[in-house]
Structure 1
Amino acid sequence: MSSRLPNKTALITGAGSGIGSAIATLFAQQGARVALFDLDGETTEALAAELKQQSGQHCFAYSADVTQPEEVQRAVSEAQQALGPIDILINCAGVNVFRDPLALEDDDWQRCMEVNLKGPYNLIRSVLPGMLARQYGNIVNVASVHGHKIIPGAFPYPVAKHGLIGLTRSLGVEYASQGIRINSISPGLIMTPAAEAWLASCPDPQAERERQAALLPCKRIGEPQEVAYTALFLASDEARFINATDILVDGGRSQIYHE
């Protein structure tokens, strides 16, 4: 079977684990050169070495804080020097911030917005000039079902994810005539290390896992690779007429009502 991202260079943030790691792995398997950005430099270095060995693709790892514009620009420049112009950007870095609105500290609000909303914008601003110069680029932002449905006890995370979907739509329209596509994916409950840690913190982890699965029409929790395949489609030229839109990857849960 032919690869779906031949001769493409993809930059993926949050690539050290979970959905970001699954996307990086799949993209390398599909013929892309990959730049892995994450705060955990050791993890991304190890993953880059593994992907290079498995796929034969050039891989670049960089420890980068997406909230720091100068650091992002420096990292993007180094990735371009190592791998060539960036064709695809996947904004997957994120952080869960769930607080009581009245007890929310300013630092928590700032951290939520900086990582989940400003971080993607920092990366977009860094890669966009090169994409515009070549009149080609595909950007995929990993949003959340929280950007569609409000779950009590999750504030202010949904605010940031609503903003990220708005950013996607706005910039997607802004640059559509210049060969740039910007879309987003909204995963539901996906069995990432963060989800595993949350389940492990519950009084009865197995009972909570079963309860969560029962809420889903498909009666199972999603896997990171299932989100990765959605990102692959949107990042490829197969989706060349899809722009400024969001795809829910939540097993249908957001379409049903629960008391």
Structure 2
Amino acid sequence: MNTSAHDFATTGRPRLQGKHALITGAGSGIGSAIAELFAREGADLALLDLTAAPAKAVGDALMKTTGRRMVAVGADVSSATQVDTAIAEAIDALGGLDILINCAGINVFGDPLQTTEQDWRRCLDTNLAGAWHCIRAALPTMLAAGYGHVVNIASVHGHKIIPGAFPYPVAKHGLIGLTRSLGIEYAARGIRVNSISPGLIMTPAAERYFQSCPDPEAERLRQAELLPCKRIGKPEEVAYAALFLASDEARFVNATDLLIDGGRSQIYHD
């Protein structure tokens, strides 16, 4: 039986050997954890952040430890023009693009009637339109190859509503909808689009929140107690899910969102 080069993972070899991946929001947190794991699994990487400097720092460190090719680019994902330029540069440097991870995002939480037009636009332009800008820039290369995996980092806010978190859940609900729509739209042309919805993960943004509390350690313990597993998630735990979805092991997984929240969203009440 004949199979294509992309049909099956080869036992014993790195899971992303020979693949080219672009990761947005790669300078820290979940994005940098995904970059580290993907590099260990054999991928050459283009790392995108708001400016190239944090992405380059991550890439330089990974190149030393893994020997993989690293390209750092800077772009504000809310700007379609900046994204087009950055992704074209990354594809040219890598020689192709098989995987896109949309991890760039910002937290915008507040009261609906106190949310300014600027905050509304900033939230949706980065968290929703930003992912679309990146996908739109990457799709022609993937479609030409008849092969590509997109993983969008959504949120449990795209499933459950926390009062006082507006308009962030609006953007994340939209991102899950974008995932499903595009996954179906391009399925017959070799493209898969999935998303991951992390719960509370110990990222730099989460740490900044804890440090803003009157008693950071008490708040950290309070949040951990809300979770069935009684601990806060780690960026690498999201990265392993992204690795699965971006690999050929998940070749029949499409237009799907994977919750990674320690079971918290399945609880009816506290």
Choose which of 14, 27, 38 in structure 1 pairs with 2:38.
27
Tell me the distance in 1 between the aligned counterparts of 2:23 and 2:98.
Answer: 11
The aligned counterpart of 2:174 is 163
Please show how residues 236-247 of structure 1 align to structure 2 within 5 Å: 236-247=247-258
**Structure 1 residue 84, shift from structure 2 partner:** 1.2
* 3-state DSSP of counterpart to 1:182: strand
The aligned counterpart of 2:20 is 9
Cα RMSD, aligned residues only: 0.8
Tell me the distance in 1 between the aligned counterparts of 2:148 and 2:86.
Answer: 18
The aligned counterpart of 2:136 is 125
The aligned counterpart of 2:54 is 43
Spell out, residue by residue over 1:148-177, the C-alpha distance to the aligned partner (whole angstroms, 9 max, x if none): 000011000000000000000000000000
The aligned counterpart of 1:111 is 122
The aligned counterpart of 2:149 is 138
**Structure 1 residue 42, shift from structure 2 partner:** 1.6
Tell me the distance in 2 between the aligned counterparts of 1:45 and 1:8.
Answer: 20
Bigger shift: residues 77-86 or 103-112: 77-86
The answer to whether structure 1 residue 77 and structure 2 residue 88 are counterparts is: yes
Structure 2, unaligned runs of 5 or more? 1-11
Spell out, residue by residue over 1:75-111, the C-alpha distance to the aligned partner (whole angstroms, 9 max, x if none): 1111111111110000000000001111110000000
Spell out, residue by residue over 1:171-230, the C-alpha distance to the aligned partner (whole angstroms, 9 max, x if none): 000000000000000000000000000011111111111111011010000000000000
Identical-pair percentage: 66
**Structure 1 residue 44, shift from structure 2 partner:** 1.1
* 3-state DSSP of counterpart to 1:3: coil
Tell me the distance in 1 between the aligned counterparts of 2:186 and 2:90.
Answer: 23
Tell me the distance in 2 between the aligned counterparts of 1:40 and 1:190.
Answer: 23
Choose which of 231, 236, 242 in structure 2 pairs with 1:225.
236
Tell me the distance in 1 between the aligned counterparts of 2:54 and 2:136.
Answer: 26
Tell me the distance in 1 between the aligned counterparts of 2:37 and 2:67.
Answer: 13
**Structure 1 residue 23, shift from structure 2 partner:** 0.3
Tell me the distance in 2 between the aligned counterparts of 1:178 and 1:127.
Answer: 14
**Structure 1 residue 68, shift from structure 2 partner:** 1.0
Tell me the distance in 2 between the aligned counterparts of 1:41 and 1:78.
Answer: 12
* TM-score, normalised via structure 2 length: 0.95
* 3-state DSSP of counterpart to 1:86: coil
One-letter identity of the residue aligned with 1:214: E
Tell me the distance in 1 between the aligned counterparts of 2:223 and 2:58.
Answer: 30
* TM-score, normalised via structure 1 length: 0.99
The aligned counterpart of 1:193 is 204
The answer to whether structure 1 residue 256 and structure 2 residue 270 are counterparts is: no
The aligned counterpart of 1:102 is 113
Spell out, residue by residue over 1:10-52, the C-alpha distance to the aligned partner (whole angstroms, 9 max, x if none): 0000000000000011101100000000014221111111111
Tell me the distance in 1 between the aligned counterparts of 2:263 and 2:246.
Answer: 23
**Structure 1 residue 66, shift from structure 2 partner:** 0.6
**Structure 1 residue 2, shift from structure 2 partner:** 2.3
Tell me the distance in 2 between the aligned counterparts of 1:80 and 1:209.
Answer: 41
* 3-state DSSP of counterpart to 1:42: helix
* 3-state DSSP of counterpart to 1:102: helix
Tell me the distance in 1 between the aligned counterparts of 2:211 and 2:51.
Answer: 22
One-letter identity of the residue aligned with 2:224: A
**Structure 1 residue 3, shift from structure 2 partner:** 0.6
Structure 1, unaligned runs of 5 or more? none
Choose which of 186, 191, 207 in structure 2 pairs with 1:180.
191
